[in-house]
Amino acid sequence: MPDCANQPNHNHLKQQRAFTLVELVVAIAVFAIAMTSLIIAFNPATTGSANPILQTRAAELGQAYLEEIIGKRFDENNSVGSQTRCGDGTAPACTAQGSFGPDAGESRSRFDDVDDYDGLTEVPTNALGTTRTNYNSYQVSVTVTYAGGDLGLNASDAKRIDLLITGPNGGLYNFTAYRTNF
């Protein structure tokens, strides 16, 4: 009589099953379609993800320029410290709007009043003319106009400073400030 304890029991063996080639091809196709759909769905988010960074840099740059400009005298004909205001009684008249821009011989590092910046277009630099690092792909343009009427004043009592920053992606960022003759 054979020894039953050493005989394999075929009832206890489980049948192993593998994926067929057709099932693998179908699974890969379904996975590819799903991944394509996800990539298409997330594409707008990834292409726009740099915009907040560019906007933040433009805002920082705009603030730096406006602080520099507003910190200057209102007009060439104002005394240093604005003890005498142009167009005020015996003081000389304020600079005519058509005469805005740098005075003869003035370079950016020597700008001393707000309207010297009118017409300035440059790759961002600081007040000394040194290029600002990390802003090489930006462009800054400044326009200065009399705009006292915007504030309920005489036209020549305030200057409007419009700053246009062009970002590396072509985005335009506008900043405006007023400097009054007080």
**108-160 per-position pLDDT tens digit:** 889 999 999 999 999 999 888 888 988 989 999 999 999 999 999 999 999 99
- In 33-157, at which residue ranges do the beta strands (DSSP E only) sit? 121-122, 139-146
pLDDT computed for residue 46 by the predictor: 56
CA–CA gap between residue 66 and residue 68 (Å, rounded): 5
Does this model's pTM top 0.85? My answer is no
Is the separation of the CB atoms in 86 and 94 below 8 Å? yes
State how far Cα 44 lies from the chain centre.
Answer: 19
pLDDT below 70 — which residues of the chain?
1-16, 44-50, 81-82
CA–CA gap between residue 174 and residue 166 (Å, rounded): 9
